[in-house]
Structure 1
Amino acid sequence: MSQTPPLSFRAATPEDIPATLALVRSAYRGEYSRMGWTTEADLVADERIDEAGMLVKITHPSSTILLAHDGAGDLAGCCELVKKDDNLGYFGLFAVDPTRQAGGIGRSILAQAEAHASGVWGVRRLEMWVIWTRQELISWYVRRGYVKTERTEPFPYTDLINGMALRDDLHFAVLEKDL
């Protein structure tokens, strides 16, 4: 396994929306996403998020989009953190450039997100939602200390961005980790 490249982290600003949208869409949807192992292209054919949705996530006082840049300054990945209450945070919108997946970038972003949630916000637990069919991804999170709960959350069929779901049985498995 190759060594994980050094990354620098910062919170996204509205100026980062175009690059962040492109990254998220490339990691989740469409043919380019198939270059990585985290694609949802066989499950959902939409754009994942739009500019307005990204702006809300960036500017909301209880959330942040954390950006990871490599040593050359290129955007390598991102994630969303939401402080739900004093004890619980949410981790989502996790994306790594599909051509750079499986090289440790995701592990580094996840570790930084956990450190931010516990160190800056003081939350004691993070939760995330993963489409239930993504067993390989769920297993990846379990290897990093997350536990699959019995809880589920509905899939947002009515909130898709310029597209549609390719299956009618989607829902989210809820995973959590004590920090």
Structure 2
Amino acid sequence: MRIGRVVAGTMALAAATIMATSESAAAGVTPRIGSDHTYSGRQNTPSIPLHKGIGVAQRQYRIAVYTGNKEDAGTDANVYITIYGTRGFVGRKLDNSGDNFERGKTDRFTLGLRDVGRVKSIKIRHDNSGEKPGWYLKKVTIDVNGDHPKFYCNRWLAKDEDDHRTWVKLQRA
């Protein structure tokens, strides 16, 4: 029962904060919760606004995904990344307006996500959708807060190649 009271108390606090924020917005006052700022380090790289959380530290993650230059290396499947750090983990679908994950191509994404601390590893996967979903992933790099970890893969993520997995967990190089 104690857990139920804690959850109920947290929900009440969140509801009160939302109500206060809505009232401030109606009065023309900009609330100081979260941030509306976005960042895009490159032209044609979409920016996603920083998450508006209560007391949640945010970071801009600039992610570059390198598809190998092998025959049929590209994929039209949906690709997802999970970033693991010293303060937890966060995941997101990688998508923008471009034709992503094609043979020999580098795709760049700028995401405003919860701060996970120093990035230690990533998990990258696809949902095996599309006509030829197999994908040859060369590497992933992440630029966050002046840190530039690299994650080398050089393998197929495919049901009909290598170990038949569509995901891989990679440690920082």
- Which of 1 and 2 has greater Rg? 2
Give 1 or 2: higher strand fraction.
2
TM-score (norm: length of structure 2): 0.32
Question: TM-score if structure 1 supplies the norm length?
Answer: 0.32
